[in-house]
C-alpha cells in the first residue's frame, strides 16, 4: 500500500520557486524511493515510513515548467506509484460559497464566444469533493478527485470565476496556473474557521458538539428524508391534474389569470405551499415557424422558478429542475412547436415561503439571433395544498466543518494566493462578520504564508424575491468586507456593477475574473498597474457646508455614471440626500442638506441605485460608510 496525499495526483500543478513537501502513507518501516524526471536531469528522493506509516520528502524549488514525471516505489513490498504530467506554476486556493463554486455551465449566458472552444492545458482545476468534517484533527482531503485540464470537454464543469481569472492571469504571467477549488454553497464564514477562532460564539460550538457523532447526524438525515418523502407523496396524491386532458376539459378547470412573472406574495396564493400548474399560451405565425426550423439551436427560457418545476411544451417534456436557483434553459426541438396556438405547462412545486417566477428575467423562446417573449397573462391552478416543508440540516454550515475538511489538510501547501467569494450566508446576522472575516484572513495566512495575497470578491447587489433577507444586511456585509482592506496584501474586487438584483448567482463571472487577475498581477507578480476601483480615503468639511471626499486608486480622475445624489444618503435623526455632488479631480464635493447627521453612506442598500463611480481604468468604487 503506497499512497500520496491529495492534491498530489496526475496532472497536478505545484507552486514554482517554493520547496514542496510530498507526503503519503505506506506500510510502517517502508523505505520510499522517488525519481522526478522531466528536467535537465533526474532527481532522486528518499524517505522512510514511520510507525504510523507516514512518510514525506521535500522537493527543492523549481522554476515554472514541465511536464514532470514522478515515480515512487516501496522497497519493502515492491509497490510502485506513478504521477505523470506534473507542472510547476502558480497555485491559487479558491474558497467561499456558491458564487465561487458556480460552474461554467451555469453561466452560459455570459461566456465570451472565444471561451467556447478554449483549450489551455496549462490551466488546471482540482475541485475538492464536498464532505464536511467533524474530526478536528483531520489531515486527509475527502473523495477521489483528479486535476482537470482546461479544454472544451472539461470547461462546462470547471469553476467559471476561476477559469476567467486563470485565463487572464496566464496571459500576463505565462506560467501554468493551478486552481484548488474548495468552495461550498450556502456556507457561513464560521464554517471556515477552526474552533479556537470562535470563542465568541459558544452556541455555534455547542451545535457542533451536539451533532459531532455520525449516528446523531444519520438519525437527523433519516428523519428528514422520511418527512420529505411523505410530503412529496401527499402532494402527488392530491395533484390529480392530467396534462393530457383535451383542451375543452382543461379549459373547464378553475384557472386563475395572473400577471407574471412574479412571486406569489401579494396574491391569493401568498405563502400557500403545494403544487401549482402554470399555463402559458403563445401563437406562432407561419413565418415564425419557418424561422425556427432554420435555427441551429432553440431553447425555452423560464428565468428562475420557486421552487421545483417539471415543464412540458405542447405535451413534450422538455426539462425539470429541483430547486430555485438554476436558470431554466430547456432545449427545444423544432418538431415540438407548431403553427398557431402553442402551450407551455409547468408543474411547480412550492416547498416553503412563496412560490412563483422571478421577475425581471426573460421568459420565452430564444436562440442566438431570435427571440419570442411570452405574454404576461399566465394561468394558474393550485392542485395540492400543503404545509411548509421544513428545511434540512446542512452539516457543512456548522462551525469549523469546512475548515477541518479542506483547509487544515492543505495546511503548509505553497500557494501564490487565495481567492475568496463568500458572505451571502451571513446575511441573517451580519454584525460579527467584520471581525470574523479578518480572523479568517489571518488564519489562512497562518496556515499558508504570512504575506500571502488574499483577493476577495465584495458582495454584489441582490433583492431577494422571497423577501426573507434582512433589510440592509448585504450593505452591512459589504462594509464589513471593505474594512478588511486594512490588512496588508489584500484586494477587494467590487462586483456591484455586474450583479443582477434578482439573482443570487449573477452570470457575469468573466468581468470579476478579469478584475481579480489584475489584482493578482499587482500583488503576486508585482506589476505596476491599477487593480482597484476608487477607495474612500478621507473627508474634510469646508466652510460652505460641503464635504470634500478624497479617494485613492483614482488613476488620475473620477468618472460618474448616473446621478451621484441618488447614491448618497445622510443619516441622523432623519435620512436625506445631498443637495449637490460634484466630481473634482480625485475628489467629490458633497453639499450637506439641513439637519444634524452622524453618517454619510454611499450605495448603502441590499440593491442600491444603479449609480457608479469609476476611475480612469474603468474600475468601480466600493460602497462605503463615513462617520461624521
Has residue 92 got a pLDDT over 70? yes
Has residue 112 got a pLDDT over 80? no
Has residue 41 got a pLDDT over 90? no
Straight-line distance from the first to the last Cα atom of the chain, in angstroms, rounded to the nearest whole number: 66
Q: Which three cell numbers stand for residue 91?
A: 497555485
Q: What pLDDT sits at residue 77?
A: 67
Identify whether the C-beta of residue 566 lies closer than 8 Å to the C-beta of residue 581: no
pLDDT digits (tens, 9 = 90+) for 253-311: 999 999 999 999 999 999 999 999 999 999 999 998 998 888 888 999 999 999 999 99
Has residue 39 got a pLDDT over 90? no
* 369 burial type by CB count under 10 A (0-12 exposed, 13-18 middle, 19+ buried): exposed
Please compute the mean of the pLDDT values over residues 142-167 and round it to a whole number.
95
Domains and CATH numbers, the chain: 234-386 (2.60.120.260), 535-627 (2.60.40)
How many Å is the maximal CA-CA distance in the chain? 86
Please compute the mean of the pLDDT values over residues 106-127 and round it to a whole number.
85
Q: What pLDDT sits at residue 109?
A: 73
pLDDT confidence bin for 251, thresholds 50/70/90: confident
For strand 177-181 and strand 120-127, is the pairing parallel, antiparallel, or unpaired? parallel
Give residue for cell 433589510.
471
pLDDT more than 90, % of the chain? 89
Q: Any bridge partners for residue 263, and if so which?
A: 356
Q: What pLDDT sits at residue 414?
A: 98
pLDDT more than 70, % of the chain? 100
Please compute the mean of the pLDDT values over residues 230-252 and round it to a whole number.
89
Q: Which residue has the higher pLDDT, 112 or 271?
A: 271
pLDDT confidence bin for 483, thresholds 50/70/90: very high
pLDDT digits (tens, 9 = 90+) for 378-435: 999 999 999 999 999 999 999 999 999 999 999 999 999 999 999 999 999 999 999 9
Asked which of 18-27, 92-101, 112-121 is least confident by mean pLDDT, the reply is 112-121
pLDDT digits (tens, 9 = 90+) for 177-216: 999 999 999 999 999 999 999 999 999 999 999 999 999 9
- Which is it for the CA torsion 86, 89, 95, 100, positive or negative? negative
SS (H, E, C) 557-609: CEEEECCHHHCEEEEECCEECCCCEEEECCEEEEECCCCCEEEEEECCCCCCC
CA atoms in the 13 A half-sphere facing the CB of 304: 20
Q: Which three cell numbers stand for residue 176?
A: 501554468
Q: Which residue has the higher pLDDT, 556 or 614?
A: 614
Preceding omega of 67 cis (within 30 degrees of 0): yes
CA atoms in the 13 A half-sphere facing the CB of 104: 23
**pTM score:** 0.95
Nearest to 462 by CA among 448, 446, 450, 473: 473
Please compute the mean of the pLDDT values over residues 150-172 and round it to a whole number.
96
Amino acid at each position: 500500500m503506497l499512497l500520496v496525499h491529495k492534491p498530489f495526483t496526475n496532472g497536478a500543478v505545484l507552486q514554482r520557486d517554493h520547496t514542496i513537501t510530498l507526503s503519503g502513507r505506506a506500510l510502517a518501516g517502508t523505505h520510499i524511493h522517488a525519481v522526478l524526471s522531466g528536467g535537465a536531469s533526474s532527481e532522486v528522493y528518499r524517505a522512510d515510513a514511520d510507525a504510523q506509516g507516514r512518510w514525506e520528502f521535500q522537493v527543492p524549488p523549481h522554476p515554472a515548467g514541465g511536464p514532470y514525471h514522478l515515480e515512487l516505489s516501496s522497497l519493502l513490498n515492491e509497490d510502485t506509484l506513478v504521477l505523470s504530467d506534473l507542472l510547476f506554476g502558480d497555485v491559487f486556493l479558491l474558497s467561499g460559497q456558491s458564487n465561487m463554486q458556480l460552474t461554467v455551465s451555469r453561466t452560459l449566458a455570459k461566456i465570451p464566444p472565444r471561451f467556447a472552444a478554449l483549450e489551455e492545458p496549462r490551466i488546471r482545476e482540482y475541485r475538492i469533493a464536498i464532505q464536511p468534517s467533524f474530526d478536528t484533527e483531520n489531515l486527509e482531503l475527502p473523495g477521489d478527485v483528479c486535476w482537470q485540464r482546461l479544454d472544451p470537454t472539461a470547461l462546462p464543469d470547471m469553476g467559471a470565476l476561476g477559469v476567467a481569472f486563470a485565463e487572464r492571469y496566464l496571459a500576463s504571467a505565462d506560467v501554468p496556473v493551478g486552481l484548488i477549488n474548495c468552495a461550498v454553497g450556502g456556507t457561513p464564514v464560521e464554517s471556515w474557521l477552526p474552533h479556537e477562532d470562535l470563542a465568541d460564539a459558544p452556541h455555534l460550538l455547542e451545535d457542533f458538539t451536539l451533532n459531532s457523532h455520525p449516528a446523531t447526524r444519520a438519525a437527523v438525515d433519516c428523519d428528514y428524508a422520511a418527512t420529505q418523502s411523505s410530503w412529496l407523496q401527499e402532494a402527488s396524491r392530491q395533484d390529480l391534474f392530467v396534462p393530457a386532458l383535451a383542451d375543452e376539459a382543461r379549459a373547464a378547470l378553475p384557472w386563475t389569470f395572473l400577471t407574471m412573472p412574479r412571486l406569489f406574495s401579494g396574491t391569493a396564493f401568498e405563502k400557500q405551499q403545494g403544487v401549482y400548474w402554470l399555463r402559458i399560451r403563445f401563437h406562432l405565425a407561419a413565418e415564425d415557424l419557418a424561422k425556427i426550423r432554420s435555427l441551429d439551436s432553440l431553447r425555452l427560457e423560464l428565468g428562475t422558478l420557486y421552487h421545483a418545476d417539471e415543464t412540458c411544451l405542447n405535451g413534450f417534456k422538455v426539462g425539470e429542475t429541483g430547486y430555485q436557483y438554476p436558470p431554466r434553459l430547456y432545449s427545444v426541438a423544432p418538431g415540438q412547436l407548431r403553427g398557431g396556438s402553442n402551450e407551455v405547462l409547468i408543474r411547480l412545486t412550492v416547498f416553503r415561503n412563496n412560490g412563483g417566477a422571478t421577475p425581471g428575467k426573460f421568459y420565452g423562446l430564444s436562440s442566438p439571433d431570435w427571440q419570442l417573449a411570452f405574454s404576461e397573462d399566465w394561468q394558474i391552478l393550485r392542485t395540492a395544498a400543503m404545509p411548509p416543508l421544513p428545511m434540512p440540516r446542512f452539516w457543512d454550515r456548522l462551525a469549523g466543518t469546512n475548515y477541518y475538511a479542506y483547509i487544515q489538510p492543505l495546511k503548509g501547501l505553497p500557494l501564490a494566493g487565495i481567492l475568496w467569494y463568500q458572505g451571502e450566508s451571513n446575511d441573517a446576522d451580519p454584525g460579527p462578520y467584520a471581525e470574523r472575516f479578518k480572523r479568517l484572513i489571518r488564519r489562512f495566512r497562518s496556515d499558508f504564508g504570512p504575506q500571502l495575497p488574499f483577493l476577495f470578491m465584495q458582495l454584489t447587489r441582490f433583492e431577494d424575491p422571497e423577501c426573507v433577507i434582512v433589510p440592509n444586511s448585504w450593505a452591512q456585509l459589504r462594509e464589513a468586507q471593505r474594512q478588511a482592506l486594512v490588512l496588508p496584501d489584500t484586494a477587494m474586487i467590487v462586483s456591484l456593477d455586474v450583479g443582477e438584483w434578482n439573482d443570487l448567482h449573477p452570470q457575469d463571472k468573466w468581468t470579476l475574473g478579469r478584475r481579480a487577475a489584475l489584482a493578482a498581477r499587482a500583488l503576486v507578480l508585482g506589476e505596476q498597474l491599477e487593480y482597484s476601483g476608487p477607495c474612500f480615503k478621507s473627508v474634510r468639511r469646508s466652510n460652505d457646508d460641503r464635504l470634500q471626499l478624497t479617494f485613492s486608486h483614482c488613476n488620475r480622475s473620477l468618472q460618474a455614471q448616473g446621478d451621484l445624489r441618488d447614491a448618497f444618503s445622510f443619516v441622523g435623526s432623519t435620512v436625506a440626500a445631498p443637495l449637490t455632488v460634484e466630481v473634482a479631480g480625485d475628489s467629490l464635493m458633497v453639499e450637506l442638506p439641513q439637519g444634524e447627521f452622524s453618517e454619510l453612506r454611499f450605495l448603502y442598500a441590499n440593491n442600491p441605485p444603479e449609480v457608479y463611480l469609476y476611475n480612469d481604468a474603468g474600475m468601480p468604487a466600493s460602497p462605503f460608510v463615513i462617520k461624521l
